[in-house]
Amino acid sequence: MDESQLNFRKEKKITRKQDEIRDLFENKRVVEVIPSKENKQENSNLKKRVAAYCRVSTYAETQSGSFELQIQAYREKILKHPDWELVDIYADQGVSGTSMKKRDHFNRMLADCRLGKIDLIIVKSISRFSRNTLDFISVYRELKALPVPVGILIEDLNLNTLDRTSETILVMFSIIAQGESEQKSEAITWSIIERFKKGLPIIPTHNLLGFYKDQFGQIQIEETEAEVVRLIYRNFLNGVRAQDIAEILMNSHIPTAIGNEKWNASSIYRILRNEKYCGDVLMQKTFTVDCFSHQSKKNKGEKPKYLLRNGIPKIISRKEWIKTQELLKDPCKGKKKKIETIEKPKFYVLKIKSGMFKNFIVLDTEWSQSELEKIILEGDNTND
């Protein structure tokens, strides 16, 4: 078949299509239009079921004012709108926008969307909703694809995610929001590292046996707990195994720093390896992988570490601590022996170190009347 024959066939094919279209217009067919389900619902339910989402990342005074203002303003706005019906105000305070995991009200709102309870969500800005681009796109596409699509009305952009042209704009702004979040995270990390360089450690004491913070935020020794720390070091240096020390502490009903009754060998080893007990502070032992997963990773040399010697009061002498570290590296050097009992501190008083009940003590039902009176007397003298 030559080229002229091929061209003739192509022209003939196009002509047939043209004829078909001409025929459709000249001989009109009767087509009945069946309205979409979406249109049916809009017509049958004139009032949109509207929710609002608010979030601030801290409990700071300035942000708490903004938080309350958002809640009240949205409640008023939705109630006053003649075509809207208030579902709820979903509000998270003190949580980051980079992850959805800890935002309880946000996740409750998504669950209500999936149950078909919400038609529209109002939010102040895209960064209030999510600073993670992937999360934002994932959520808004899911809401858009629901049997009853849910729109997100982003106020500062005056943009509804159900608009057909919104996706490109939304992706662009969510990337900007993510960039702001990354910059903020970098700024916080920079601030922490600069503190470390200047010898200003960050030491939480709620889970640190033997220490507490006074009213000025200074690290102080909690004597009752410190006695337990000394007992652990002393017995380990005497050849008692970590597991045996843990069992004796449990048998003596001595709790861990956070009040757990169960001890194990690993918790004993963590105390034996903690340099804070000889007064030093090693900073940046762990680091956060990124601001979205918030995953904490042990620093095995990926980041610098900063050592502050004699930065806090010591519970164990440096000589004892160095000897303990040598023994931990080579346990065979220690003379193993199992002892049956360890003397329990005469008055072990568990004092709450943080939170609403800070400085309160936990009563032990095994205290005798005279021991209880002594503890109360000591408490009165301390308060004086």
For residue 40, pLDDT beyond 80: no
What is the structure's pLDDT at 83? 92
Residue 138 backbone phi and psi in degrees, to 5: -60, -45
Share of the chain above pLDDT 70, in %: 81
Pairing of strands 159-160, 151-154: antiparallel
* Sign of the torsion angle spanned by Cα atoms 320, 324, 330, 332: positive
Q: Which of 90, 51, 42 is nearest to 67 (CA)?
A: 90
DSSP 2-54: -HHHHHHHHHHHHHHHHHHHHHHHHSPPP------HHHHHHHH--SEEEEEEE
What is the structure's pLDDT at 11? 62
What does the pLDDT look like over 163-219, one tens digit per residue?
A: 777 777 777 777 777 777 777 778 788 888 888 888 888 888 888 999 998 888 899
pLDDT tier at 341, thresholds 50, 70, 90: low
Q: What is the mean pLDDT of the chain?
A: 81
Tell me what the mean pLDDT of segment 67-87 comes to.
90
Other Cβ atoms closer than 10 A to 328: 15
Q: Are 255 and 245 in contact (CB under 8 A)?
A: no
pLDDT tier at 366, thresholds 50, 70, 90: confident
pLDDT tier at 85, thresholds 50, 70, 90: very high
- pLDDT, greater one: 384 or 274: 274
Q: Are 121 and 152 in contact (CB under 8 A)?
A: yes
The count of residues in the chain is: 384
Residue 11 backbone phi and psi in degrees, to 5: -65, -35
Q: Which of 51-65, 239-253, 271-285, 329-343 is predicted most confidently?
A: 271-285
Helix locations, the chain, DSSP H? 3-26, 37-44, 61-80, 104-114, 126-129, 133-144, 166-197, 223-237, 242-251, 265-273, 318-329, 369-383
What is the structure's pLDDT at 277? 96
Q: Which of 54, 83, 50, 76 is nearest to 151 (CA)?
A: 50
pLDDT tier at 30, thresholds 50, 70, 90: confident
For residue 256, pLDDT beyond 80: yes
Topology adopted by domain 211-348: Hect, E3 ligase catalytic domain fold (3.90.1750)
What is the structure's pLDDT at 173? 74
For residue 45, pLDDT beyond 80: no
For residue 86, pLDDT beyond 80: yes
pLDDT tier at 39, thresholds 50, 70, 90: low
Give the list of residues 6+ apart from residue 306 with CB closer than 8 angstroms, or none. 196, 197, 199, 282, 283, 284
- Domain segments of the chain: what residues? 48-175, 211-348
Other Cβ atoms closer than 10 A to 272: 21
What is the structure's pLDDT at 384? 47
Q: How far apart are CA 205 and CA 217, in angstroms?
A: 10
pLDDT tier at 332, thresholds 50, 70, 90: low
Residue type, 163: D
For residue 302, pLDDT beyond 90: no
For residue 46, pLDDT beyond 80: no
For residue 42, pLDDT beyond 70: no
Tell me what the mean pLDDT of segment 302-321 comes to.
92
First to last CA, the chain: 113
For residue 334, pLDDT beyond 60: no
Q: Which of 7-11, 66-70, 315-319 is predicted most confidently?
A: 315-319
Q: Which of 162-166, 277-281, 360-364 is predicted most confidently?
A: 277-281
Q: How far apart are CA 45 and CA 8, in angstroms?
A: 58
Share of the chain above pLDDT 90, in %: 29
**2-16, 146-160, 179-193 — which is least confidently predicted?**
2-16
Residue 331 backbone phi and psi in degrees, to 5: -60, -25
Q: How far apart are CA 35 and CA 37, in angstroms?
A: 7
- Domain spanning 48-175: which superfamily? Resolvase, N-terminal catalytic domain (3.40.50.1390)
Tell me what the mean pLDDT of segment 156-165 comes to.
80
Q: Are 32 and 80 in contact (CB under 8 A)?
A: no
pLDDT tier at 312, thresholds 50, 70, 90: very high
Q: Which of 114, 68, 58 is nearest to 89 (CA)?
A: 68
